[in-house]
Structure 1
Amino acid sequence: MIFHEHFARNTKGRDLVAGDIHGMFSALSRVLDVVGFDRDADRLFCTGDLVDRGPESDRVLEWLNYPWFHPVRGNHDDYTIRWPRGTVDAATYLSNSGGWNIENVPELQQRFSDALDRLPVAIEVETEAGMVGIVHADCPVPSWRDFVTRLGSAKVPAEEREHLAQLAIWARARILALDPSCVRDIHAVVVGHTPVSRHGTLGNVHYIDTGAVFEGGHFTLLDLASLTPVYPAASEPNWHA
C-alpha cells in the first residue's frame, strides 16, 4: 500500500480536483472539455472511488495511464484491490456494486487490483495559497502533518498505519457531527465519500462528492489554488459550518 504522495506546485497550468467517479468516465471527460482542461499543462486530482456503481468501471486502467490524472484510494477501490486476494466476501462486494468485476476472469481482476493498489491513501499538493491535502473520506486526526507522518513512518506499527488508512477512506464522523473544526498544519483538505448536493465546507475541509453517478447528481471540479468550483458555476452558493 502506498500511503502518501506529494506534488510540487504546477507551474505550467491548473490543478483541479474532481469528486468520486464511480465508473462515470465519459461524463467526467465531457466536464473536462467544458472547463477547457489542458491535458498538456493541467493536472486532475480525484477523491477516489473510481469504480463500482457506474457503467464504465472497466475503463479505470485506461484512466490510470493518463499522466495528468492523480487519484487517491477510495473504499470502493479498496474492495477491488482486496477481491482477488480473498479478503472481501462476495456478498459484501456485490452489495457494493462489485458485480462488474466478479464476472471478470481472474487475470483481469488481478490487473485491476494491482493498478488500484498503487493509489496513495493521501495526496498533498503545493499551491500558491498553501498546501492542500486530498483523502477519500477524512483526515482522521487533528493534524495533517501528524497524519501523513504516521502513515509514512516505518517506526509506526503496520497495524496502526493500516488503521489510519482505513479511517481515511471510510470515516464520516466529521460530516455526521457537522464538526466545524479545522485540520491543523494544512491550508485545506478536499474529500469525497459522502454524497452532498453541492460543494460545501466544514472548517477547512471541502466536500465535493456531488453524486455524479446518481440521478440528479453531477461532478464538482474544484480549483486547488482558489478552492472554488470551476464546475458547476462558482457562483453557486456553498453550505458551510
Structure 2
Amino acid sequence: MSQVKRFAMNTVGRDFAVGDIHGHFTRLQSALDAAGFDPAADRLFSVGDLVDRGPESLDVDEWILRKPWFHAVRGNHEQMTVDSHTAGRTSDQCGMHFINGGAWFYGLSSVEQDCYASILEDLPLAIEVETAQGLIGIVHADVPRGSWYEMLKALAGPAAEADHTAAMLQWSRKRITDEDHSGVNGVRAVIVGHTPLRQPAVLGNVYHIDTAGWMDGHFTLVNLATLECIPPLNPKLHWDWEARA
C-alpha cells in the first residue's frame, strides 16, 4: 500500500476535485453531468469519505475499480471501516463505525467484508497532481505541517510519527476551527474535505470543499488548473460548519 499517489499533468482534459461523497454516487454523477465532465479525457479526485451514511456505499467498488478516471484518498470513514474489520465485530472500533453510518458494512458476508476492507485499505493517504500552474496536494482533513515536504517526511518517518501524521491527515479540524490562513508551503494548493460547510472555505492555499452534497447541501467541484469552484463561491455567504465524525 502506497501512502502517497502521484499523477502527471493531464494533457488531454480537465482535472477536478470533489468533497466527501458518503454513499451518494448518483448525486455525484448528476454534479459531474452538470459540469460537462468527460470521462474520456477528464479526471476526478476525491478527498475521501466515499462510504457510510448514504444509500450507495456498496457502489464504492464500482467507482474505485471500474472508473479509471476516478481517484481517491483514504478518509476517516474508510479508515474506520478498515480498523473495525481488523479489530472484529465486538470491538469499540466497530461500534464507533456503526453509529457513524457504517451499518451497510455489517450486513455483508465475511467474504464481502474482506473484499471491501481490502479495496479501501489500498487507497493512499495523500495524492499529488501536477498542473501547468504547480503541484496540487489532496488529503482528507488537513496537512499537520507548514510544508507539504515536511508532511511527506513525517509520513515516511518512525512509526509513532507516521501514525500521528496519518491520523491528522484523516481527522484534524484544527486549521478550520482556528481559521488558520497560514497555508502549506511547497504546493500551489491543498484540497481537503472532512468538515461539512455551507460553501467552500479558502484558508491560505487550503481549499475546504465538503459542502454536504451527501446531506442537505451540494457537491462542489474544483478545477485543479484554475482553482475555480463549480458552483462558484458566493461572496455573501459564510462557510459556517458543523462538526461530524
The TM-score with structure 1 as length reference comes to 0.93
2:120 pairs with 1:128: no
Cα displacement (A) at 1:235: 5.6
Paired residue secondary structure (1:54): coil
Hey, what's the Cα distance between the residues in 2 that align with 1:228 and 1:208?
11
Hey, what's the Cα distance between the residues in 2 that align with 1:239 and 1:119?
32
Question: Partner residue of 1:36?
Answer: 36
Question: Partner residue of 2:220?
Answer: 220
How many positions carry a matched residue from both structures? 234
Hey, what's the Cα distance between the residues in 1 that align with 2:53 and 2:2?
25
Cα displacement (A) at 1:198: 0.6
Hey, what's the Cα distance between the residues in 1 that align with 2:105 and 2:45?
24
User: Are 1:2 and 1:117, in contact at CA under 8 Å, matched by a contact in 2?
Assistant: no
Deviations 1:42-85 (A, max 9, x none): 00001100000111000000000111001111000111112221
Q: Which amino acid aligns with 1:86?
A: A
Q: Using the TM superposition, name which of 17-26 and 1-10 deviates more.
A: 1-10
Cα displacement (A) at 1:239: 5.4
Hey, what's the Cα distance between the residues in 1 that align with 2:160 and 2:106?
28
Hey, what's the Cα distance between the residues in 2 that align with 1:59 and 1:24?
9
2:65 pairs with 1:61: no
Deviations 1:180-212 (A, max 9, x none): 111111111010000111112011100100001
Question: Partner residue of 1:102?
Answer: 106
Q: Which amino acid aligns with 2:163?
A: E
Paired residue secondary structure (1:33): helix
Hey, what's the Cα distance between the residues in 1 that align with 2:71 and 2:221?
14
Structure 1 or 2: larger strand share? 1
Paired residue secondary structure (1:97): helix
Question: Partner residue of 1:175?
Answer: 176
Hey, what's the Cα distance between the residues in 2 that align with 1:17 and 1:111?
26
Q: Which amino acid aligns with 1:214?
A: M
Instruction: Pick from 149, 160, 175 the counterpart of residue 145 of structure 1.
Output: 149
Residue segments in structure 1 that go unaligned for 5+ positions in a row:
none
User: Are 1:193 and 1:209, in contact at CA under 8 Å, matched by a contact in 2?
Assistant: yes
Hey, what's the Cα distance between the residues in 2 that align with 1:71 and 1:55?
19
Cα displacement (A) at 1:149: 2.8
Question: Partner residue of 1:22?
Answer: 22
Q: Using the TM superposition, name which of 79-88 and 177-186 deviates more.
A: 79-88
Question: Partner residue of 1:115?
Answer: 119
Paired residue secondary structure (2:108): coil
User: Are 1:140 and 1:147, in contact at CA under 8 Å, matched by a contact in 2?
Assistant: yes
Question: Partner residue of 2:46?
Answer: 46
Cα displacement (A) at 1:108: 0.7
Hey, what's the Cα distance between the residues in 1 that align with 2:114 and 2:82?
8
Deviations 1:98-150 (A, max 9, x none): 11101111111111110011111011111111111000000011110111233
Hey, what's the Cα distance between the residues in 2 that align with 1:235 and 1:96?
29
Instruction: Pick from 229, 232, 236 the counterpart of residue 234 of structure 2.
Output: 236
User: Are 1:3 and 1:165, in contact at CA under 8 Å, matched by a contact in 2?
Assistant: no
Percent of residue pairs bearing the same amino acid type: 47
Paired residue secondary structure (1:98): helix
Paired residue secondary structure (1:201): strand
Paired residue secondary structure (2:194): coil
Q: Which amino acid aligns with 1:148?
A: L
What CA RMSD, in Å, does the superposition of the two structures yield over aligned residues? 1.5
Paired residue secondary structure (1:91): helix
